[in-house]
Amino acid sequence: MEFGQLMARVSPARSPAEAYRRVQMDARIFGSDAPALVRLCLEEACSALGRSIYAARHGHNDLRQRALARALDAVAALRAGLNRDSELAEAFTTIYDHAENSIRQAMLKFDSAKIAAMLGDLEDIRIAFRPG
């Protein structure tokens, strides 16, 4: 995908920082293999959950909701890319189910402790998926 096509995907309603992050993310996606995409989705989920905790702590409800939506998208992408034939598929399905349910609940009633615990779990998985 060309840079111009990437820029066309950026909504004018988004902030410049969000637009830059989206273009940067798209560029990483298009240049990645499957394991790198898993790491990218885990990174994105962890980053978004961290932003949601920060936003909640500082009273930025709109930012908190956007961060939770982004985390939910990242977990949904992890689920969609799950190798169903893997011996770990059932365990990851359970983890992703729990993460999606917790994020949806947090969108209605935010619980920093629950989100922080989920962030810790996803961070552990992200670290385990690091190459080398």
pLDDT in tens, 76-103: 999 998 989 999 999 999 999 999 999 9
In a domain, 17, yes or no: no
In a domain, 12, yes or no: no
* Residues 76, 100 contacting (CB under 8 angstroms): yes
pLDDT tens digit sequence for 30-59: 666 778 888 999 999 999 999 999 999 999
In a domain, 116, yes or no: yes
- Residue 16: is its pLDDT beyond 80? no
Task: Indicate the number of domains in the chain.
Answer: 1
In a domain, 65, yes or no: yes
Give me the residue label for tokens 């950026």: 10
Which pLDDT score is estimated for 55?
Answer: 97
The pTM for the full model equals: 0.78
In a domain, 4, yes or no: no
Mean pLDDT to the nearest integer, 117-132: 93
Which pLDDT score is estimated for 101?
Answer: 97
Residues 10 and 21: their CA atoms lie apart, in Å, by: 10
Of 127, 126, 71, residue with least CA distance to 98: 71
59 phi and psi, to 5 degrees? 75, 25
Residues 5 and 41: their CA atoms lie apart, in Å, by: 22
Domain that holds residue 121: 32-128
In a domain, 113, yes or no: yes
pLDDT-derived band at 8 (thresholds 50, 70, 90) equals: very low
- CATH number of the domain where residue 76 is located: 1.20.120.340
